[in-house]
Structure 1
Amino acid sequence: MSDEEVKPPIPEENWGYDLYPERRGGRYKAPVSKILLGEGRENIDRLKCESRVWSCIQKSPLVKLMMSALKSSGCEIDISRHISCETCAPSVSGGYDPERNQVVVCQNMATSEGIVQSVLTHEFIHMFDYCNNHLDFKNLEHLACTEVRAANLTHCSFISAMFQGDASPIKIAKAHQDCVKTRAAHSIVAVRQISEEEARKIVDKVFDKCYGDLEPIGRRIRRNSLDMQKAYMERFVYGYD
């Protein structure tokens, strides 16, 4: 290989690690204004976060389903090992660290069980893709695929407009796909130093294949519905205990 072909290593911050300073032995420095408002109490935030994580693990159908799927894939969750409450940059609410095979719940953003449930489910999908589908998250196409799957399965609910007027199922399906593409692109931009235009091109390239992959939840979860309970009850179809 010639000298011209040798590429320097990509700095760690380009992988998004700077958003999770405690990942590499650092510490998030809260602005003085937030400290004065009582938002610099990391230990209290961590206890609240851990309590909400435990509650979701006990009660959330989606979180229990994802943990079952991970266990069946040979990646059983050890709560103390694989889930960590940490203070993060305010632009993110959670993350998945494939190098440590660990889900991060951002304790400064985990203000409700609903948020924690969303973070755990989203990041467990990334863990499932890393463990079961062997995706390499330093490959932007692989990263785009897992972000499409996470947005598709849990975040972008179908619009109820078909019951409220002249909206057609085709328009609803397109709106859902557009939501998934936007969320996936934004997630990539948040953790990689690329433009939104570049992120959208990568998302478009992998979209059709990754959008159609509903494993392990088996359905797109709609808000204010029984989809979470149904997905959990149907887990045996996929061979999950």
Structure 2
Amino acid sequence: MPSQPPDSPAPEAPTSTTPTEPPSSSPSTSTSAPTTPAFPRIVENDPRRTGFDPRTAWWVNYFKILAGGVTPEGAFHYREQRYRENEARDCARCDKFRDWAFAYSPTVRFLRERVADLNGTLDKDNVLCRRCPARLTEDGQVHRASGGFSPGHGILICANEVRNRNHLEDTLAHEMVHAWDHLRWKVDWVGDKDLKHAACTEIRAAMLSGECRWTREAWTRGNWTLTQQFQDCVRRRAVQSVLARPRCKDDVQAVKVVNQVWDSCFTDTRPFDEVYR
């Protein structure tokens, strides 16, 4: 029997879903208000179908997974249970990485100073590590995130998705770019007017955070393309984040709006002089 509870490996999560405060609900007679697309139904675990029984000891389920007695759906639910049980451990580890980044990461320290220049504050009181539940929907898609930014609350780092200190550094830098953009331009996060603001800040965050540097794309995600790798990564991750916005209809609209702002936003490296990571 293993002495330390192992966790099944998880695919890399999108860096940000950028959660925002819901708009206030008020009566309206308008018939042209944007509608939120119907979200596929969330799939709940059924031990008879998946082979994973949460009432059984973790090591029994673990060896059932190794033996092929648990479906991929069951492995997802097993992983989520392990995250719940290890929440305190994961959050403590995330807090340690966050404090290191504030103290020693050149990128995080620079962004923190630039946010302060705009009368904003980012510290351990509003950069929080928490467990972020993932969702499995009936279309077979797993929806998970590494973090998010909310203008009214601060930055959330998903402790259960943090793989190592470098991953947290990239995730935190991504969200700090969002914070700087919001203080500088008052971004329309939800997309009530249009999605161009969201597309632009997602392009900039993916470009400036370091999450699309060649080593991470190649070794972590298995994308070994030598030409246009950086641009393709930034575009792909921006599209994924725009698609998660409540006002985005589908992937066609997400791609379209990213293309509309690409030329101006991909060349905008503020507050940096150039792309360093």
TM-score w.r.t. length of structure 2: 0.61
Q: How does 1:74-93 map to 2 (within 5 A)?
A: 74-80=119-125, 82-90=126-134, 91-93=144-146
Q: Does 1:138 align with 2:160?
A: no
Q: How does 1:90-109 map to 2 (within 5 A)?
A: 90=134, 91-100=144-153, 102-109=154-161
CA displacement 1:22-41 (0-9 Å, x = unmatched):
xxxxxxxx976237657522
Distance 1:115 1:158, change over 3 A: closer
Q: Does 1:33 align with 2:74?
A: no
CA displacement 1:125-155 (0-9 Å, x = unmatched):
0011111122111121110000010112233
CA RMSD of aligned residues (A): 3.0
Offset at residue 124 of structure 1 (A) = 0.3
Q: Which structure's CA Rg is the greater one?
A: 2
Q: Which residue of the partner structure matches residue 33 of structure 2?
A: 7
Which structure dedicates a bigger proportion of its chain to helix? 1
Q: Secondary structure at the match of 2:119?
A: coil
Offset at residue 208 of structure 1 (A) = 1.1
Q: How does 1:65-80 map to 2 (within 5 A)?
A: 65-80=110-125
CA displacement 1:61-87 (0-9 Å, x = unmatched):
11101101100111122321x211111
Q: Which residue of the partner structure matches residue 113 of structure 1?
A: 165
Q: Is the 8 A contact 1:157 1:220 kept in 2?
A: no
Q: Which residue of the partner structure matches residue 240 of structure 2?
A: 186
Q: Which residue of the partner structure matches residue 230 of structure 1?
A: none
CA displacement 1:106-139 (0-9 Å, x = unmatched):
0101231111101110000001111112211112
Q: Is the 8 A contact 2:131 2:159 kept in 1?
A: yes
Distance 1:4 1:125, change over 3 A: closer
Q: Distance in 1 between matches of 2:263 and 2:85?
A: 43
CA displacement 1:146-203 (0-9 Å, x = unmatched):
00101122333369xxxxxxxxxxx94x443332211110122244453222111010
Q: 2:252 aligns with which of 197, 201, 217?
A: 197
Q: Distance in 1 between matches of 2:83 and 2:171?
A: 24
Q: Secondary structure at the match of 2:198?
A: helix
Q: Secondary structure at the match of 2:85?
A: coil
Q: Secondary structure at the match of 2:185?
A: coil
Q: Which residue of the partner structure matches residue 202 of structure 2?
A: 147
Q: Is the 8 A contact 2:202 2:241 kept in 1?
A: yes
Q: Is the 8 A contact 1:63 1:117 kept in 2?
A: yes
Q: Distance in 2 between matches of 1:59 and 1:74?
A: 22
Q: Distance in 2 between matches of 1:55 and 1:204?
A: 36
Q: Distance in 1 between matches of 2:81 and 2:252?
A: 39
Q: Which residue of the partner structure matches residue 181 of structure 2?
A: 129
Q: Is the 8 A contact 2:198 2:242 kept in 1?
A: yes
Q: Which residue of the partner structure matches residue 56 of structure 2?
A: none
Q: Percent identity?
A: 28
Q: How does 1:199-218 map to 2 (within 5 A)?
A: 199-218=254-273
Distance 1:118 1:8, change over 3 A: closer
Which ranges of structure 2 fall in alignment gaps of 5 or more residues? 1-27, 43-74, 135-143, 216-225
